[in-house]
Amino acid sequence: MAKPDGYIEIRFGPRWKYISPARIFIQNFIAIAISDQAKADAIAMAASELLENAVKYGASEDTHCIVQAFPETGLITASVTNQATEQGAKEVSGLFKKIMAGDPLEAYIMQMREAATRSDGKSQLGLARIRYETGANLKLEVSPENRVTITIEVR
Amino acid sequence: MNKLGIDPIAQDKIKIEVADNGPDMVIRFIGDIDMEDPSIILDPVFEKVHSGMVSKKIPEIVADFKGLNFLNSSGIKAVAKWIMKLAMLPADQKYRIKIAHNKAITWQVTSLPTLTFLVPGAVKIE
C-alpha cells in the first residue's frame, strides 16, 4: 500500500466522554485531507461506532485509533484496537462472521430486528451499520493475546 | 401541554419535544444521541408515545430527526424497538410513523431510510 498523505493517531483510556471529541476530530481531519464531507461524515460515524464498542467491551485502559488518508486514490482507512477478554474476542469474531455474511442491508435489518428484542443492554448493531452505511471493506484481526483490531477501508 | 401529556426532556446533549400536529402528533429530537445507554432516556418516551397513540387512536406521528446531529447504534436500537411495537398491534390499533429527515446530514440519509424496512407499511420517510 502507498504511504498515506496524512494520518492521525489517537490513544485514550476507555472513557465514554472522549468518543464524541474523537469523532469530531476524525471528521474534520478527513474533510480536510480529502475534501469530501459525506465521506468524512460516514467514516467518523464508523470510527465512533468502533470506539464505542472498544470502550464498552474493552478489558483494559487502552483504546487505540489510527486514521489514514490516501488522497491520490481517495482511500481512507480507520483502525481501532483494544484489549479484549478471551470471551470478548470470541464474541466479536462470531458477530463479525455473522454480519459479513450475505447482503449488507439484509444483515443490518436482521441485526436491527434482533437488537429490538434484546434485553442484555447490547445492540450489536455497530458493525452491520458500518458495513451497510459506508460500503466499507471491514477486516478483523485478533492477536493471540486477544488484542482486537477492526479496520475499515473506504474508497 | 400536548394531547399525550408528555413533558419535554432535556438531558445530556439531547432535547426531546412531543407536540400536537393537528389531529396527529410530532416528536422532535434536537442535539446528539451518543450516550452510552440512550435507552434510559428513549425507551420511556417511546413507551409513553406508543401507549398514548394507541389509547387515543391518533392516526399518525411525525418522528422529526432534522435537528439531530448524531445518533449512535444504541439509539437506533431504541428507535427500532419503538417501531417494532407496531408489528404487535392489531390492525384497528395501528398508527403510522412518518420520519422527517435532514438531507444535509449524511447519517440521516443513510440510517433513517433503513427503519422503513422493519415493519413493512408502518413507517414512511419524508
DSSP A31-59: HHHH--HHHHHHHHHHHHHHHHHHHHH-S
pLDDT of residue A119: 81
Q: List pLDDT tens digits, range A77-134.
A: 999 999 999 999 999 999 999 999 989 999 999 999 999 998 887 889 999 999 999 9
So what's the pLDDT on residue A120?
A: 80
The Cα diameter of chain A in Å comes to 46
Residue A12 has what pLDDT? Answer: 78
Which residues in chain B come in under a pLDDT of 50? none
Q: What is the pLDDT of residue A58?
A: 85
Q: Quick one: pLDDT at residue A44?
A: 93
pLDDT computed for residue A112 by the predictor:
95
Q: What is the pLDDT of residue A14?
A: 64
State the pLDDT at residue A11.
86
Write down all domains in chain A, each with its CATH number in brackets: 6-154 (3.30.565.10)
Q: A140 phi and psi, to 5 degrees?
A: -120, 130
Which residue type does B51 have? Answer: S
Nearest CA-CA distance, residue B66 and chain A, Å: 16
Interface pTM (ipTM) of the complex? 0.92
Top residue of B14, B33, B42, B72 to mutate, by most chain A CBs within 10 Å, is B72
3-state helix, strand, coil split of chain B in percent (to 5) is: 40, 35, 30
A60 phi, psi to nearest 5 deg: -150, 170
Q: Which residues of B touch A112 (CB under 8 A)?
A: 76-77, 80, 114-115, 118
List CB contacts (< 8 A) between B111 and chain A. Answer: 129, 133
DSSP label of B33:
E
* Per-residue confidence (pLDDT) for residue A1, from 0 to 100: 61
pLDDT at A30 over 70: yes
Q: What is the pLDDT of residue A59?
A: 85
Q: pLDDT by residue (tens digit) across A35-58?
A: 788 889 999 999 999 999 998 888
pLDDT in the model for residue B55: 96
Q: Which of A52, A109, A123 is closest, CB to CB, to B77?
A: A123
User: Is the Cβ–Cβ distance between B45 and B61 less than 8 Å?
Assistant: no
Stronger pLDDT, A74 or B11, i.e. the higher one: B11
Distance CA A34, CA A19 (A): 22
